[in-house]
Amino acid sequence: MSNFIGIRHEDKYLMERRAPLTPKHVERLVRLKKLDIIVQYSDKRVFTEEEYVKAGAKMAKDLKKCSVIFGVKEMPVSFFEENKTYIFFSHVIKGQAYNMPMLRKMMEMGCNLIDYEKIVDEQGKRLIFFGRYAGLAGMINSLWSLGLKLKEQGLKTPFLQIKQSHTYASLEDARKAVSAVGQEIAENGLPEELRPLVIGITGYGNVANGAQEILGLLPIKEISPEKLLTLKRRSKLPNNLIYKVVFKEQDLVEPSEEGKEFDLQEYYGNPLEFRGVFEKYVPHMDMLINCIYWDSRYPRLITKDFIEKIYDKGNPRLRVVGDISCDVNGSVEFTEKGTEIEDPIFVYNPKSRTIQMGHKGEGVLVMSVDILPSELPRDSSNGFADVLSNFVKPIADCDFSEDFEDLDLPRPIKKGLILHQGKFTPDFEYLEAFVKVAEPAEE
């Protein structure tokens, strides 16, 4: 049972400007739920000190008084205090080695850890997420990247009018800019060399839906993956349309056993029994927007060997990859790094297998910013807090000294409780093996 709720400042990234709870939501929690909220000072948070104070919060240099602390990204090991409750994106559920020292420290301190990523309903659907905003910002950035790449290739297009997401004052301003480009394409068309311009999207969840929201502001015609394979560069095709292809699981993989039909649940349960087939579509696309969940059990979308092969054949078509999923050397193997907002793109040279930051050079331009929602900090924080604020009071009221089975928490929050009193809850005991081999935490 907490006397004070803390909102931590974000320090993992220079351009991380989001907040888990906004002044609007703090005001409701203070006024209606009678909570005491302390906000840690930040010189970069998109919401000002004045906004939080007006909402009824107190400002402080530290959160020593708070027993429940909300953040967005990972926290340094030196920040944790004994027996406190922390709610943030911990990025530990895959056993990520770089965060195991943090997890070990929280265990040593007897902390409670609730991870937003694992707050799910009875069907396993995530309830609190930034995914839509990653898709929105990622598509804006990818269209901006496409304009730069085409210019580098000698093709001037209306995409040059689009800017990187974080430069817009709001999502609405960004939408207006993309819509204006869409209108110009509809009226005047694109260069003949781009006929037809094809953009592929992998996935159909929150991230992909956000990306499609932005893409829908352009003159779009959706075609099937099968149709894409027969779509040729023909002069009779209109030059004022952009072709969109959405790829689902059955388009990405097939059973390794010859003649066996694809079954989605079997794929999720036994991904090693499947092989990738997505590469057959790659030579037919100008830009790929990658929005899928991926881990090492699943086949890759594009390997380094494959992209080198099509570059060796000359005149490769794939110009830009907007890797919103941003799994380093993952589903798109040549996503060599997660990039920062200040330096968001690089060109991967398939022949030398090297990267060059920026948009110049031979190869595929990759946009792989790994905190994309931070490019729309006010909008994404408000959307996130709309859901999170409903759970703040129950978390604050919970007596975490009780046994796990007796904790009075909403079911979705209990599902997201990874550590309770420094010990793994039943669904997360598998992480013990990862913590054991982790390097000691550096304070």
**Rounded distance, CA 321 to CA 351, Å?**
17
DSSP state of 302: B
- 365 neighbors 158 (Cβ within 8 angstroms): no
What residues pair up with 113 in beta bridges, in sequence order?
Answer: 86, 419
Using the CB atoms, write b or e for 399-438: b if 16+ within 10 Å: ebeeeeeebebeebbbbbbbbbebebbeebeebeebbeeb
pLDDT of residue 284: 95
Q: Dihedral of the CA atoms 45, 339, 293, 196 (nearest 10)?
A: 110
Element holding 202 (H helix, E strand): strand 197-202
**Rounded distance, CA 87 to CA 66, Å?**
13
pLDDT of residue 35: 96
287-290 vs 58-60, strand pairing mode: unpaired
Question: What domains can be seen in the chain, in order of their start residue?
Answer: 5-119+377-436 (3.40.50.720), 131-375 (3.40.50.720)
Using the CB atoms, write b or e for 76-107: b if 16+ within 10 Å: ebebbeeebbbbbbbebbebeeebbbbbbbbb
C-alpha distances in Å from residue 369, one per residue of 162, 166, 343, 373, 417: 17, 12, 9, 10, 28
**Rounded distance, CA 252 to CA 278, Å?**
5
Per-residue pLDDT tens over the stretch 63-96: 999 999 999 999 999 999 999 999 999 999 989 9
pLDDT of residue 369: 97
**Rounded distance, CA 154 to CA 106, Å?**
53
Residue 33: closest CA among 69, 57, 8, 63: 57
Per-residue pLDDT tens over the stretch 120-158: 999 999 999 999 999 999 999 999 999 999 999 999 999
pLDDT of residue 235: 61
* Helix, strand, or coil (residue 237): coil
Q: pTM, whole model, 2 decimals?
A: 0.91
E strands in 203-294: 220-222, 242-247, 253-255, 274-276, 287-290
Residues of the chain below pLDDT 70: 1-2, 233-235, 439-443
What residues pair up with 7 in beta bridges, in sequence order?
Answer: 39, 70
Residue 362: closest CA among 120, 151, 149, 178: 149
Tokens of 372: 């994309």
Quickly tell me which residue has 């794929």 as its tokens.
Answer: 267
197-202 vs 287-290, strand pairing mode: parallel
pLDDT of residue 436: 87
- 322 neighbors 215 (Cβ within 8 angstroms): no
